[in-house]
Structure 1
Amino acid sequence: MTKNYSALHESMQTRTLANGLRICYLPKEGFSKTFAILATDFGSVDASFTFEGKRYDTPAGVAHFLEHKMFEDEDGNALQKFARTGASPNAFTSHTMTAYHFSCTDRFEENLKILLKFVFTPYFTDENVEKERGIINQEIRMVEDTPNWEVFVGAYEGLYRNHPVRVSIPGSEESISHITPELLYTCHRAFYSPKNMALVVCGTADFEQVCRMAEEISPKDAPEIGQRHYGERRAEVHQPVVTRKMQVSLPQCMVGFKDEPVPAGESRLRRSLIGDLAVRILCGDTSPLYAKLYEKRLLGRDFDVDYSLIPDGACAILGGESRDPAAVREALERETARLAQEGIEPRLFRRMKNALYGMRLRMLDVPDLYARQEIASVFAGEHYLDFAGLFDTIHAEDVQEMFRRWAQPNRSTMSVVEPK
């Protein structure tokens, strides 16, 4: 099926194969590089699930471990194959997905075949799993020594009592010591089913050939997907403050506001747009509050804002270096309460909305960012290009309602990394 978005001067072609694999082609005529991403709707939060009648409570970090091991094949390493074609491959695991991707200027079909084959053909042995364990242990030690990462993990620890988002994506040295080839095969069967996956290509390619190759290489059968368990939810945050001590020159802080999950049937893309707009109005780098706090030297250029959707949850996280984290938190909570009560000044709302629309528009000319946004939207049953129409449905009252939720008692937490 071809969909045209005349207002954006963009189009896309989509198809769902008989085995359930969703394919989307985003044409970019004249671009020198083509980007392809194959992802599964399986991330670090999907640690507990029921599959084939059995309950699994897997060790933290299993999705990330599986990502590392997928490049191994019986006839060699996929990275070495990509190196021979001149492609640039990589992969990542987030809270909600695991993705494998490459970009290339030529030999696209050869590279796509490599990608499809290694992702759909797992190969795990005791030896290669043990070897990878040592590599991942080094990665874990590195991220645990990174203040930016630790303050981020602390924010989720404060927001949630028992949701698996509390746990660091790569897990711990202790948790990954329990990962076996058998467990990796189980997770692959449970979540690397074509019906739980999507392929997005952005650039210049033959859509029909992409579909033929995917149909030929992906499994004909699509196993049922594991049923996930995320624990019970509470409206209130788990801890008001989470503190760590590390070798930093200035304290690092992140303030989190806990939001309600997206109700069934409601657009997750629209909620994400409202959330992005809210955090930028609250303390984005062109907001009035940011200017005040910057003048007082309470925050710097590294201050960042983000709104995230997770299974059974949603939250806003704002943070960076600050000589007085408590003052930053107080200012954010005070401004949230004011916006919840008084609403948003119309000129500020229009300016921020136009700026966010422009930022979303610019992503369309960056194939890797565009494709990543599209694949996340596909997993939510939507398409990224729908953002243009959704923007017209977002009003200041929608953002004010979000601020009202954040301003309720016990809806905020602060994670701090203090100097030792």
Structure 2
Amino acid sequence: MTLHEFPRLGERYWEQRLENGLLLRVVPKPGFARSYAFLGVDYGSVDTSFTRGGIPCRTPDGVAHYLEHKMFDLPEDNAMNLFAAHGGYPNAFTGYAMTAYYFDCTEQFAENLRILLRMVLTPWFPDESVEKERGIIAQEIRMYEDSADSRAYEDLFGAMFAHHPIRVPIAGTVESIGEITPQVLQDCHAAFYAPANLMLCVTGDVDPALVEEIARAESANAHAEPVPVRDYGPAEAMTCPTKRTVRHMEIAMPTFCLGFKCEPPARGLESMRREIIGDLAAEILVGESSALYTRLYDEGLINSDFSAGYESVRDACLFSAGGDSRDPDAVLRAILDEAQRLSCEGFDRALFDRLIRSSLGRRTRDLDSFESVCYRMCAYRFDGVDYFSFPEAYASVTPEDVLQFIRQVIRPERAALSIILPNESEESA
């Protein structure tokens, strides 16, 4: 394995790409009793259209999430039982751009790692088990449909994007998962769970050579083929197809999400720079220390649940904000007005310096979190950048970059607003 050192951060990791394409990284944490392993799959809910072996493919919405559920089944037993027998605590999640499986343990690390790799690399989709899972996932979908926060974000994405599959909830719909068969799961596992599309990140007091040995053995017979070419639809216009949506639900107070469409950045370091710029713009515009946040809070237009930031998912990028409010339209108008003022007057360089130091400090402190390090290692690598390069990305960002972002992005024609009202409200969509 090759050692990569980052003196500025006081961090290092060992890296090896196996002959079958599986990428390994081990971040040593000497003296820790706890070990953590994170196996990321460069495959998320938006990857529903792709070309595999020269053949265009379109899968039902929700396959990535369905696969996540089914990967815990092994021919010999359910992986949850195997982890429990060896003191491992596993979990998994599906996002728009990545699926991940992970565990932590304080003993029997090697055996738990073998279970993790065997679980993810073994397609096992008996008809009866797949059908049983359909009902479980349908219940999960309905649970999210009953969540005002989830519906507000999903409605916002649907309003903002005309073509991009981020419009569709991660788990799909009750109707779409009805089209998922064992063969669909088998085909998508073969397409996206090939070793070259995976990354294993381990942190703890772990021997890198042991990780490589186990990974080689467990992936030796894994099916390998070229990674499919993904298709997220035609390029999106920077205007939103729908400007405003309203939904009524059983809630006590209106909640909302608003968004401003952004051009997708190039992959690699530029993608990381744009994320930093977008988050700094959110802090300067409407962060907790901003004058606008204080005014909106004092006027009762937002509460402590309000947040804002930049989001990017494979060719779909936006600046978003949301929370509870008695008048979401007034919040949107206030943000637009403040963006206009900043565009004309600029902002204090001392404020920029303070915010960038604070943001860089938070990221540096997060290096103490095993979960954060492994997640970001994989997510940023799948986007073409080494996460430990973030100090260089921060150093390249200027106040002019942030001001230009505000001028370009926080504009009425790029905005959409999603509102969830209490059922007793008389306002209609």
The alignment's TM-score, normalised by the length of structure 2, stands at 0.95
Give the distance between the partners of 2:421 and 2:237, measured in 1 at CA. 28
User: What do you get for the CA RMSD once the two structures are aligned?
Assistant: 1.4
- CA gap of 1:265–1:28, structure 2 versus 1, over 3 A, is closer
**Residue 87 of structure 1: aligned partner:** 88
CA distance in 1, matches of 2:222, 2:129: 28
Check whether the contact 1:250–1:321 (CA below 8 A) recurs between aligned residues. Answer: yes
Q: Matches of 1:312 and 1:72 in 2, distance apart?
A: 33
Match of 1:225 in 2: 227
Structure 2 distance, partners of 1:85, 1:228, is 38
Residue 121 of structure 2 contacts residue 222 of structure 2 at CA under 8 Å; is this kept in 1?
no
Q: Does 1:316 align with 2:293?
A: no
For 1:68-147, list aligned pairs within 5 A. 68-147=69-148
1:273 matches 2:257: no
Tell me if the contact between 1:157 and 1:242 (Cα under 8 Å) persists in the aligned partners: no
Give the deviation of 1:264 after TM superposition.
Answer: 5.2
Q: Residue 265 of structure 1: CA displacement?
A: 5.9
Q: Which residue of 1 aligns with 2:18?
A: 17
The match for 1:32 is 33
- What does 1:20-419 correspond to in 2, within 5 Å? 20-218=21-219, 219=221, 222-232=224-234, 233-263=236-266, 267-419=270-422
Deviations 1:121-159 (A, max 9, x none): 110011010010011011011010000100011111121
The 2-side partners of 1:15 and 1:331 are apart by: 50
Q: Which moved more, 1:30-39 or 1:332-341?
A: 332-341
Q: Which moved more, 1:131-140 or 1:408-417?
A: 408-417
Q: CA deviation at 1:414?
A: 0.8
Match of 1:55, SS state, is strand
2:40–2:98 contact (8 Å) kept in structure 1: yes
Q: Per-residue deviation at 1:263?
A: 2.5
Q: Which amino acid aligns with 1:193?
A: A
What is the identity, as a one-letter code, of the residue corresponding to 1:223?
E
> How far apart are residue 221 of structure 1 and its match?
5.4
Distance in 2, matches of 1:157 and 1:187, equals: 25
Identify if the C-alpha distance between structure 1 residues 393 and 285 changes in structure 2 by more than 3 Å, giving closer, same or farther: same
What is the Cα deviation at residue 52 of structure 1?
Answer: 2.5
The number of residues matched between the two structures is 420
Distance in 2 of aligned mates of 1:283 and 1:391: 20
Q: Which runs of 4+ in 1 moved over 6 A?
A: none
- How far off its partner does 1:377 sit? 1.2
- Matched residue type, 1:231: G
Find the aligned partners of 1:341 and 1:186 in 2 and give their Cα distance. Answer: 54
Contact 2:161 2:240 in 1 (8 A): yes
Contact 1:340 1:407 in 2 (8 A): no
Structure 1 CA distance, aligned partners of 2:309 and 2:213?
39
Flag structure 1 segments of 5+ consecutive residues without an equivalent. Answer: none
- Cα deviations across residues 159-202 of structure 1 (Å, max 9, x unaligned)? 10111001010111111000000000111111111111101111
Kindly provide the CA deviation profile for residues 43-97 of structure 1, in whole angstroms up to 9, marking residues without a partner as x: 0000111212332221111110010000001001001111111211100000000
Alpha-carbon offset, residue 407 of structure 1: 3.1
Tell me, yes or no, if the aligned pair for 1:262 and 1:313 is still in contact at 8 Å: no
Q: What is the deviation of 1:369?
A: 1.3
Query: Partners of 1:29 and 1:289 in 2: how far apart?
Result: 45
Distance 1:342 1:212 in 2: 59
Task: Please tell me the residue identity of whatever aligns with 2:342.
Answer: L
Normalised TM-score (structure 1): 0.97
Counterpart secondary structure, 1:72: coil
* Secondary structure of 2:396 counterpart: coil
Distance 1:30 1:327 in 2: 53
What is the distance in 2 between the residues matched to 1:133 and 1:265? Answer: 37
Amino acid at match of 2:253: L
Cα distance in 2 for residues equivalent to 1:215 and 1:72: 22
1:256–1:414 Cα contact (<8 Å) kept: yes
| Counterpart-to-counterpart distance in 1, 2:343 and 2:262 | 14
CA distance 1:363–1:94, shift in 2 (3 Å)? same
Distance 2:11 2:281 in 1: 27
**SS of residue paired to 2:13:** strand
For structure 2, the residue ranges without an aligned partner over 5 or more in a row are 424-429
Query: Deviation of residue 401 (structure 1)?
Result: 1.5
Three-state SS of the structure 2 residue aligned to 1:236 is: coil
Distance 2:190 2:345 in 1: 52
Q: Secondary structure of the residue that 2:385 maps to in structure 1?
A: coil
Q: Offset of 1:397 from its aligned partner?
A: 0.8
Q: SS where residue 45 of structure 1 aligns? A: coil
CA–CA distance in 1 between the matches of 2:287 and 2:75?
Answer: 49
Amino acid in the other structure paired with 2:126:
T
